[in-house]
Amino acid sequence: MTTESFTRMLPDVLTTADGEQITTVEQWQRKRRPEIVTLFREYVYGHESVQRPAALSFHTNVTQGLMGNRAIRKQVDIRYEGPGGQGVLRLLLFVPVGREKPAPAFLLVNNRGAEHTDPDRERRSPFWPAEWIVERGYAAAVINYTDLDPDEDDGFRNGVHGIFDEFEGSRPANAWGAIAAWAWGASRVMDYMETDPDVDVARVAVVGHSRGGKTALWAGALDERFAMVISNNSGCTGAALARGNRGETIKDINDRFPHWFNANYKRFNGREPDLPVDQHMLLSLIAPRPVYVSSATQDEWADPLSEFLSLIYAAPVYQLFGKHALGTERFPQPDTPIHGDRMGYHLRTGVHDLTEYDWEQFMDFADRYLK
Ligand code: GTR
């Protein structure tokens, strides 16, 4: 597939639903951006039943002198309550000590189990290299996504859906799915960060791998408090264009994970050309904040080329803001990162995973914006 044929197939990021051409940042902010957010809520991720709940509280346990006296640990219970009961999201946070200013942070939405997020650091994982993140001058924050909503097709009875949904009659076809619930949780971490003087809430990057990457993108698109958004191997309904037509399709993902998206999204099984959005529009919602997308050579299911092209087709919005974006349209060789102006991309040699190589690129790129 050539870039020209994509250009014809994709909805144009700077043309509104009624055909108006967006030429200024003001028009983008007032008209097109909200329109795209609504389209994604309506047809893909669903409308959240609640934003910041009235009953939200933070309960922090602090341990000093960890990581060879380089960090303090905060274990924060983020508690919330709704008509269906109470929930708790457990945030684990290591903050570098001896800083003059509050630290910038990486928040990982962990979709791989608690073995990667050992608070005692007896087990260490490249998936969340907390020591290294701290050494580089960042706070390392992580949440485990199943705190918010178990990753199973449970009819939306469990997790935050069970706590906050109050539908009369049957569940609406545009109600939020699991990805939206996990993204909602990332925003509740930002509510907490606003209260923590050790972390600079204006310099927080949200990161996720695979389904966690889809979540990071949707969280960063909706919540403009995230200063940077990083998607690792997020693939279908993450960074990859649905119209790319390779790797995982909308039908594949809806069949295997019906709980991730709303019911409306199922109408587009096998009908990608009819979808009123494509994933470059999701990336465009992050503009002008820095966005980083990473792929892996052996992760064909996530379709690396379509992940890259999403950035290319989101670039006009960055350019509207006077940013050069990636600065090239050429798909790079493996292991040769492109760190452009507010946009970064790399194709790592290897399989579907989040590795030290990936983290190194994220931190190098972040150093330019969050330090
Ligand atoms: C796969 C799914 C992908 C990706 C991945 C993951 O099975 O098809 O969309 O999200 O899981 O989260 O590891």
For residue 214, give the ligand 1 atom closest to its CA.
10
More reliable by pLDDT, 5 or 54: 54
For residue range 239-274, what is the model confidence (pLDDT) as tens digits?
999 999 899 999 999 999 999 999 999 999 999 999
Task: Give me the pLDDT at residue 229, please.
Answer: 99
- Do residues 134 and 67 lie in contact, with contact meaning Cβ atoms separated by under 8 Å? yes
Rounded distance from Cα 301 to ligand 1 centre (Å): 8
Whether residue 7 has pLDDT greater than 90: no
pLDDT over 70 percentage in the chain: 98
| Residue 25 pLDDT class (50, 70, 90 cuts) | very high
Rounded distance from Cα 114 to ligand 1 centre (Å): 18
Shortest-distance Cα residue to atom 10 of ligand 1:
211
Shortest-distance Cα residue to atom 5 of ligand 1:
210
Whether residue 8 has pLDDT greater than 90: no
Rounded distance from Cα 109 to ligand 1 centre (Å): 14
What is this structure's pTM? 0.98
The predicted complex's ipTM stands at 0.96
For residue 252, give the ligand 1 atom closest to its CA.
8
For residue 237, give the ligand 1 atom closest to its CA.
9
The answer to whether 125 is a known catalytic residue is: no
Whether residue 276 has pLDDT greater than 70: yes
For residue range 322-364, what is the model confidence (pLDDT) as tens digits?
999 999 999 999 999 999 999 999 999 999 999 999 999 999 9
Pocket probe for ligand 1: among 145, 246, 248, 354, the residue whose CB has the most ligand atoms within 8 Å is 248
Cα distances from 230 to residues 19, 37, 55, 337, 358, in angstroms, run: 31, 19, 30, 14, 10
Q: Which protein residues touch ligand 1 with a CB less than 6 Å away?
A: 111, 210-211, 235-236, 248, 253
Whether residue 213 has pLDDT greater than 70: yes
Task: Give me the pLDDT at residue 5, please.
Answer: 63
For residue range 167-185, what is the model confidence (pLDDT) as tens digits?
999 999 999 999 999 999 9
d(CA 230, CA 188): 18
Task: Give me the pLDDT at residue 146, please.
Answer: 98
Cα distances from 247 to residues 12, 221, 242, 279, in angstroms, run: 23, 24, 10, 15
Whether residue 65 has pLDDT greater than 60: yes
For residue range 101-123, what is the model confidence (pLDDT) as tens digits?
999 999 999 999 999 999 999 99
Rounded distance from Cα 233 to ligand 1 centre (Å): 9
The answer to whether 346 is a known catalytic residue is: no
Rounded distance from Cα 266 to ligand 1 centre (Å): 17
The CATH fold assigned to 3-367 is Rossmann fold (3.40.50)
| Residue 269 tokens, joined | 């099984």
For residue range 280-299, what is the model confidence (pLDDT) as tens digits?
999 999 999 999 999 999 99
Query: How many residues does the structure list for the chain?
Result: 371
For residue range 125-163, what is the model confidence (pLDDT) as tens digits?
999 999 999 999 999 999 999 999 999 999 999 999 999
Task: Give me the pLDDT at residue 6, please.
Answer: 67
| Residue 218 pLDDT class (50, 70, 90 cuts) | very high
Q: Which of 210, 231, 284, 306 is catalytic?
A: 210
| Residue 116 tokens, joined | 């990667």
Task: Give me the pLDDT at residue 245, please.
Answer: 84
Segments making up each domain of the chain, as ranges:
3-367
